[in-house]
Structure 1
Amino acid sequence: MTFAAASSLALTLALCAAVPLQAQTATSSAATVPSLEQIFRAEPYRGDNAKDADFSHSGRYLAYLWSPFGEPGTDLWVHDTKTGKTTRVTSPQIMAAFEAPEDMARFEKKLKQRQDEYAERQAREVAQQAYLRGEKVDLSQWESAQIEVLKKELAEKKAKDDAQKAADKAEADAEKQAMAALEARRAGKPEPAAAPASAASAADRKEGKKDDKDKELWELRDELKKKLARDKLKPGDLYPGPAQFVWAHKADELVFQYRGGLYRWVVGDRAPTPLVATQRELRTVAYTADDSGFVFMDETRVLRLNFRQAGVQVVNRELIHPDDEQKKYRIAETTISEDGRWMALVAKAPLKGADDKPAAPGRQVEIMNYSERWATAKKVNREVSDDKRTERPLALYIRAVPVGAETPRKQPAPVFVNGGGDVWFEMSDVAWAKDGSHYAFTTWERDKELLRVYLGTTACAQLAACGEAAKPEMILERRGDVGHEVVNVLKPRFTPDGKTLVLTLDETGWRQPYAIDVATRALRPLLKGEFEAHQVVGFTADSKSLFVLANQGDSAAMNVLRVDMASGATQAVGAAGEYHRSATVSEDGRWVAANAGNWARRPELKLLAADGKAKAEARTLTDSSDKALAGLPLLQPERFHYTNRHGDRIEAYVFKPAGWQASDKRPAIVYVYGGPLNDRHIVEVDSFQNTAYLFGQYMAAKHGYVTVAVDPRGHSNYGRKFGDANWERAGEPQAEDLEDLARLLPAQYGVDASRIGLNGWSFGGFQTQYTMYTRPDVFAAGIAGAGPTEWENYNSWYSGRTIGKATDRTKPVLRKYSLLPLAKGLKHPLMLVHGMQDPNVLYQDTVNVYRELLDSGKESLVELFLDPDGVHAMGGVVKPAGWHRKYEAFWLQHLGRATR
């Protein structure tokens, strides 16, 4: 399920409390179990992983964006693979040389504010629990302190305003006296005496002080609420660090983008050099072919500068439309070939309605905000399956990049067009061969279930005589049965020699790389086997091997495989049992960099020898965690799998409490997600998901529960059979697998069959409800978070490729998968959890199923737990510690305490 980063599966990244755990044995006593306030600490124990790692052309230097724990933004670092030295290219101190002092002061002020907010929130959490234990705690101390600060600020503001008023009045009185004197002189009369100073201002100030003193507490609270809203941290409040960088083609230097400016850094320089400073949103593109200049973009234009000359040149001049041109295309995207000679322009035109006027925007729905005295509504986009599509007409142009100040060439005709309208059309980025001789792209028409691959040449793209020869050739077509998740990863890439086009296909039920011979158009698989390998990350310089991320041999881990393109032989580059993410390969094929780790070793950026032999040389380049994490005694899970009723292998992990025996009859909690999510699932060796992992180990250690996280059919990265399992039977395959799991837990994992709970978020919230309604005797209680209960109201991009075909624009064809008619089957307690301002899975989904439950007489079985300010991952007034404290109370109430 796409549910974006807000899905429960992605909570590890989206919520601040996601922390990786130290490997521990299951012998910890309850007395040493960290509290929920410690586990879900206000300040995250872990910072961000390194991102956008990329090697210089020579392969000697690795650049990446990252900042140590606690520091804002992501700075630019460069590691020398030869010497092992790492250079920090940017920092707040270095970039202060290019910033206004006021901006740097604001960054510093806001960073302190963030630190203070973390400290206050943590203190509040701890104090609240102390208060509930009966300790004497002043819970109003933080508000009182804030009000005192506010009163001081209000008094200072009033004094300043009064002083300004007095100055203005004095100036006005002086001007009046001067004018009166001037009139008197002109009339030959004596000048009038100056009026005595008015005492009214002093009286007003005295009265004002009395008003401030007598201001009601509730008025001050209103003022405080406004102040907190004004001061709330926004994305631009903290020092961001560079956003992008690009290496030169030959030289060991790079250009990076930072806050509307471009900066150049050459290896060995002490500081970067500014190139361009604007207030526009800039994006780095590439160096010119000879490294004498740089190409960059603003909103739509591609611009070029020369390091030795002043001025900037527009490279992709806007499209010219004759008066009789029907489609007024505007450039939307530009991709330049590595040799700098060619560019692909993707252009789009306005979508016209029946009256030839621009089409109206798509559907919008209202989300209510209850934070003010009166409720207000905001609108969010929501395209559902019975909405007509509003795809804009698209055209692809291939142009030569102008050389120097040459005379502009005549605009060529587009090489590919799509009329847009009520169609579902997707197009990949355009890929270029290294020498610019060929380009390729893929298209997907969902309504037709039609996948196509196009290959074009630049041999005569600018010559009018070429005619149709300039258009790309369709070299591969698949209609139907291509796998619902192939399109997201189908990104064509040329080998360095330009002779082979590599892309991901699902020809046999697994997403794996395939090669198309550019000369013969022959297609062949590069890998075979029942595993996923859909992320191609690079090639060796001789084009004989490629590198791909694959879960070969372990579905819970992804390793970097070096694949011989002739034989298909594979060689693991990284350490076994680790999950490698965001991998990149040096152009010479000697080095690989990836964020890698597992439950015992926290994920960090690692430098790996690409031949897969010198694992001892693997270097860890980052340290992203708070040192306090090492002192947090937490458990490590045990992986297991079972076979479902259809013979499928289902992966899971379990936390067993201290003193566990197979003969026990303990309560258990099962965590499920169950939906496809591109390349993610729950059982991953480096995933420290908030509820499945962190809360799961807590319930095992603190209360003696057996807690399980499971990946039933429906998940991604287990092949097409799993990823497509929901098609036209949403929830049923998962419910079967969960029922099979519940049957084996008592015999194999010391669980009381009558005390098993089920929990899930997002698709898992839907799945929990579906299972509780359709198999009411399997699970004793359930917690369902932010689940889509009416698929006809979810976004059509996801539901139309996951749940069922949605091509009928006249009626909501996905209504048959609604949970509302099933809700009457509930027999056991169910808690529904939702953020009331969720723009993803609308809060109305929970309201509507809640209504059905009440109408079915389930009042005693169902309860609501809501975050009034929360979105899909919550994040409003409900914090992770309190969130899971609510879960803890629910499970203890309905599943009881552990007995052996």
Structure 2
Amino acid sequence: MSPKILALSVTFACSALGNMLLPQAAHATLPVSLTAAPARISPADLTLEQVFRAKSYAGQSARLIHFSHDARYLAYVWNPFSETGSDLYLHDTLTGETKRITSPAVMKAFDAPEAWDRFDKKFQQREQEDAERQAKAEAQAAYLRGEQVDLMQWETAALEEVKKELAEKKAKDAAKKAEADAEAAREQAAAGKAADKPAEGKKDNQADSDKPKALWELRDELKKKIAKNKLKPGDLYPGVDQLVWANKKNELIFQYRGDLFRLQAANGKIERLTRTGTPERIVAYQANDQGYLYMDDKRLYSVSFNSSVIRQLNPELIHPDDADKKYSITDTVLSEDKQWMAISAAVPDVNPDTGKPNPSSERQVEIMNYNERFATAKKVPREVSDDKRKIPATALYIRHISDANTRQPQPVFTNDGGDIWFEMSKISWAKDSSRYTFSTWEREKNLLRIYVGHAAEGEKPKMVFERRGNVGHEVVNVVDPQFTPDSKQLIAVLDEQGYRQPYVINTENSSARAILKGDFEAHHIVGFTPDSKAMFVLANKGDFAAMNIFKADLASGDMKALGAAGDFHRQSDAADNGEKVASVAGQWSSRPELKIMDVNTGKTQTLTNSHDPQWNSIDLLRPERFSFTNRHGDQIQAYVFKPFHWQISDQRPAIVYTYGGPLNDRHIVETDSFQPTAYLFGMYMAAKHGYVTVAVDPRGHSNYGRKFSDANWEQAGKPQTEDLEDLTKYLQQHLGVDGKRIGLTGWSFGGFQTQYTMYTSPDTFAAGIAGAGPTEWENYNSWYSGRTIGKTERSKPTLRQYSLLPLTAGLKKPLLLVHGMQDPNVLYQDTVNVYRALLENGKEQLVDLFLDPDGEHALGGAIKAKAWHKKYERFFLQHLGTALPAASQ
């Protein structure tokens, strides 16, 4: 069934606006699924222009998903396919109806007409650019097939537009000059002076300006126009950004273009609360719902609905002139009753003599831009493992909110900063506002601590948990200590038994009790039941490729799955009453949508319909999941696209896609992931060319437990290569693959992994494509390399021992290196340096480069997804050959 969405009539949205809307507004409330199902394309006719079309088939996912206090309403922001911005929707769980609250028609009333002139213009520009890019791709394909195609038609039209604009500008300038000349003549006549005669030089200049511009000059003008009009953030209608519900009432406050608006859920009435030139960020309602709290930058304000008084709650910290350290506020977190503030502060890095900020201590790396007549450089910050750090001193203050001018309390926690790795989590308050908690992590000491403090000024928090060594590098981002709703139990995510799961922390004896049982990842707590007896958690229990939402008993650890088997849940929320949960969830056979689930009955309702139904026309194959046992007895997860008429006796070429590195909570084999190369290109090569295509998660990946995520430590690429070698044997034995015709590819860490394997296991794969791989770990960002690659020293680049450059002598098979030349993440120099090493080692006949002059880490400059996969297709067909003869397909 299609989700039922009702258009909400708002009192101030007059019908006269209808003719002025963005093109998508008139159809905003129509379910996408009303479109007739498209015909499926035959495999022989499938093209990469269709698979990687200019406008993606994937729509936007719902976000900012929040239940009202009584679970009557679910608020979220989203829009149907092809619309701009994310508008606010309310789902009534009692009636089952969903109402669209905001839209271009509604929000236009709150903006200056000039803003909507720009939104309209830029929307049309985006649509035209997408259509033109797709048309160019189709025309180029037709041209290469030998068809008669005018490939210059778009430039010709654009140049004609430039001519028109230049002529209009010239006429406008001439009119202005004539007016100015006439005024000057009148002034001279009034003064009794003769009018000036035009100088000979001016006549010549006028003659030159009257000449039509040459073609090359028009092209220069077009290039300048394209650069000037390039779409930027803020050019399109944004929709709603951030929202909070009231504590008791069924109303909420949302943000739109930096201003705050109040919504009554029952009648849909919108009231504007602010209209300033400074962006405001909604924080919460006052405890009694009679007003709200918001921030602009670092200042926190309280405002009552029935008063014009604005009160700042967190005035800047005061320090005597002789104070050793002078802290400045960086963050403020309010207690649940809005009576206490946890103020985080840091010492600004300023010159004591001038009072101005010191230059950044981070290394500045130059990236070259080749888009002008001569190359220019821009600088990007880069902190590598052997850089001396300059972490500012930090402090935490607990302060009671009061109108009285009381003396500023002393900080309850401090850290001196300096040349260290120190991280501190956000403060979390207990629901009864009596206590707060936070965690700290010191990487070089491998030291994790959790603290609990009381709501009291100047009182130091107590360290209630400490783990030195054996912490697990991936747990530090998800520890997230928090109290249960009854404020009695402290819950934190730890990695005590090899998997990131929630634990109950005993604040008296510093022990930790595992809540769940089993080998799986469960590091995202969604919420709790109001009696604090159960929690809702995302976990990949029973299926490492999925992430279901479970209700788990805090005492017994018993778990009940609430979502459909195989679904991957991402953005999620649980109602305060514990009776409903909502998630964006889906899988390959049913693309992700926002779903609301009744915890007691198990009933699920889908609220959104996000994606283009035209996807069904190219959805020719679905992958099959499989796993194999590596040489160490580990189960390695993968999926495969089998071509039509596949048989195990076939001897087909194959392509393997891998990533291989730790990535917090992501890996490649995920049931809702339509990754461009692993899934889309894999499906294409199987359907069109009869290849067997595989995506695999070798050891080194996240979300498989610490054994996998730590496998890469001090042996980067080695365990992954072992698993890839074992995979190739499995492909030959079970998937009808010719062992001499297997290709390997990957991006980012996968680009590193592809190269490492091609250099150190040179007979395993017949060809490889390595995209944007970090080849010199000593030059990569230290926040990642120092946690995942190996031990580091400030005095020397010790991670150079994991560089790929010395390994390049081992290459035996063709290798294509791909990179965006303006990549600020993995620097383009990494590919240049490994390319040089390959040439120096005599591999010129094996190695090729494919570069995007304007591309960053995901390319996207001159090379879009269609283009780079066209290159992949040609490369693999050239080096791996074709599959079975067409007659036997």
TM-score range, shorter chain: over 0.9
Moved more, 353-362 or 747-756: 353-362
- Per-residue CA distance 1:156-185 (angstroms, 9 max, x = gap): 0010001001001111111222233xxxxx
In the aligned structure 2, how far is the partner of 1:713 from the partner of 1:172?
80
Which of 821, 841, 847 is the equivalent residue of 1:856? Answer: 841
Q: What SS does the aligned partner of 2:470 have? A: coil
Distance of aligned partners of 1:201 and 1:770 in 2 relative to their CA distance in 1, 3 Å threshold: closer
Which of 232, 254, 257 is the equivalent residue of 2:255? Answer: 257
- Letter paired with 1:820: L
Which of 533, 542, 549 is the equivalent residue of 1:553? Answer: 542
Q: CA deviation at 1:516?
A: 2.1
Partner residue, 2:405: 408
Partner residue, 2:31: none
In the aligned structure 2, how far is the partner of 1:801 from the partner of 1:784?
23
The answer on 1:237 being equivalent to 2:235 is: yes
Is the Cα contact below 8 Å between 1:332 and 1:346 reproduced in 2?
A: yes
Consecutive aligned runs of 4 or more in structure 1 exceeding 4 Å deviation: 194-206, 351-360, 517-522
In the aligned structure 2, how far is the partner of 1:242 from the partner of 1:196?
60
Q: What SS does the aligned partner of 1:242 have? A: coil
Which of 679, 684, 694 is the equivalent residue of 1:708? Answer: 694
The answer on 1:618 being equivalent to 2:618 is: no
Q: CA deviation at 1:257?
A: 1.1
Which of 337, 340, 343 is the equivalent residue of 2:338? Answer: 340
- Letter paired with 2:661: G
The answer on 1:394 being equivalent to 2:371 is: no
Unaligned runs of 5+ in 2: 1-36
Which of 498, 502, 506 is the equivalent residue of 2:495? Answer: 506
Distance of aligned partners of 1:727 and 1:99 in 2 relative to their CA distance in 1, 3 Å threshold: same
Partner residue, 2:531: 542
Distance of aligned partners of 1:724 and 1:202 in 2 relative to their CA distance in 1, 3 Å threshold: closer
Moved more, 354-363 or 720-729: 354-363
Which of 438, 441, 445 is the equivalent residue of 2:442? Answer: 445
Which of 408, 413, 423 is the equivalent residue of 1:426? Answer: 423
Partner residue, 1:31: 44
Q: CA deviation at 1:328?
A: 1.1
Partner residue, 1:120: 132
Partner residue, 1:3: none
- Per-residue CA distance 1:689-712 (angstroms, 9 max, x = gap): 000000001001111111010000
Is the Cα contact below 8 Å between 1:166 and 1:201 reproduced in 2?
A: no
Tell me: higher relative CO, structure 1 or 2? Use CA pairs within 8 A at least 6 residues apart: 1
Partner residue, 2:32: none
Q: What SS does the aligned partner of 1:602 have? A: strand
The answer on 1:767 being equivalent to 2:760 is: no
Partner residue, 1:146: 158
Partner residue, 1:183: none
Partner residue, 1:641: 627
Is the Cα contact below 8 Å between 1:94 and 1:271 reproduced in 2?
A: no
In the aligned structure 1, how far is the partner of 2:318 from the partner of 2:756?
55
Q: Figure out how many residues of one structure are paired with residues of the other and give that number.
A: 845
- Calculate the TM-score normalised by the size of structure 2: 0.93
Percent identity among equivalent residues?
62
Partner residue, 2:371: 371
In the aligned structure 2, how far is the partner of 1:30 from the partner of 1:328?
68
- Letter paired with 2:488: K
Q: CA deviation at 1:356?
A: 12
Which of 56, 60, 65 is the equivalent residue of 1:53? Answer: 65
Q: What SS does the aligned partner of 1:381 have? A: strand
Map 1:171-320; keep pairs closer than 5 Å.
171-180=183-192, 207=207, 210-211=210-211, 213=212, 215-320=213-318
The answer on 1:846 being equivalent to 2:831 is: yes
Is the Cα contact below 8 Å between 1:499 and 1:519 reproduced in 2?
A: no
Q: CA deviation at 1:385?
A: 0.5
Partner residue, 1:184: none
- Letter paired with 1:325: A
Distance of aligned partners of 1:437 and 1:664 in 2 relative to their CA distance in 1, 3 Å threshold: same
In the aligned structure 2, how far is the partner of 1:396 from the partner of 1:144?
63
Q: What SS does the aligned partner of 2:552 have? A: strand
Partner residue, 2:3: none
- Per-residue CA distance 1:203-242 (angstroms, 9 max, x = gap): 899846741x2x1111111110000000000011001111
Q: CA deviation at 1:199?
A: 13
In the aligned structure 2, how far is the partner of 1:199 from the partner of 1:96?
53
- Per-residue CA distance 1:550-593 (angstroms, 9 max, x = gap): 00000000000100111111101111111111111011111101
Is the Cα contact below 8 Å between 1:497 and 1:543 reproduced in 2?
A: yes
Partner residue, 1:594: 583
The answer on 1:884 being equivalent to 2:881 is: no
- Per-residue CA distance 1:768-801 (angstroms, 9 max, x = gap): 0000000001100000000000000000000000
The answer on 1:562 being equivalent to 2:551 is: yes
Moved more, 738-747 or 435-444: 738-747
Which of 870, 876, 883 is the equivalent residue of 1:898? Answer: 883
Q: CA deviation at 1:281?
A: 2.8
Is the Cα contact below 8 Å between 1:46 and 1:625 reproduced in 2?
A: yes
Q: CA deviation at 1:618?
A: 0.9
The answer on 1:99 being equivalent to 2:117 is: no
Distance of aligned partners of 1:29 and 1:898 in 2 relative to their CA distance in 1, 3 Å threshold: farther
Moved more, 518-527 or 224-233: 518-527
Partner residue, 1:800: 786
Q: CA deviation at 1:89?
A: 1.5
Partner residue, 1:6: none
In the aligned structure 2, how far is the partner of 1:59 from the partner of 1:576?
25
The answer on 1:829 being equivalent to 2:805 is: no
Is the Cα contact below 8 Å between 2:464 and 2:509 reproduced in 1?
A: no
Q: CA deviation at 1:60?
A: 0.8
Q: What SS does the aligned partner of 2:272 have? A: strand
- Per-residue CA distance 1:287-336 (angstroms, 9 max, x = gap): 00000110011111001111000131111011000111111100001111
In the aligned structure 1, how far is the partner of 2:201 from the partner of 2:796?
70
- Calculate the TM-score normalised by the size of structure 1: 0.92
- Letter paired with 2:375: A
Q: CA deviation at 1:492?
A: 1.2
Moved more, 199-208 or 826-835: 199-208
- Letter paired with 1:765: G
- Letter paired with 1:379: K
Q: CA deviation at 1:38?
A: 0.5
- Letter paired with 1:582: Q
Distance of aligned partners of 1:889 and 1:54 in 2 relative to their CA distance in 1, 3 Å threshold: same
In the aligned structure 2, how far is the partner of 1:895 from the partner of 1:490?
46
Map 1:605-754; keep pairs closer than 5 Å.
605-611=594-600, 613-614=601-602, 617-754=603-740
In the aligned structure 2, how far is the partner of 1:280 from the partner of 1:354?
30
Distance of aligned partners of 1:356 and 1:220 in 2 relative to their CA distance in 1, 3 Å threshold: closer
Map 1:160-179; keep pairs closer than 5 Å.
160-179=172-191
Q: What SS does the aligned partner of 1:334 have? A: strand
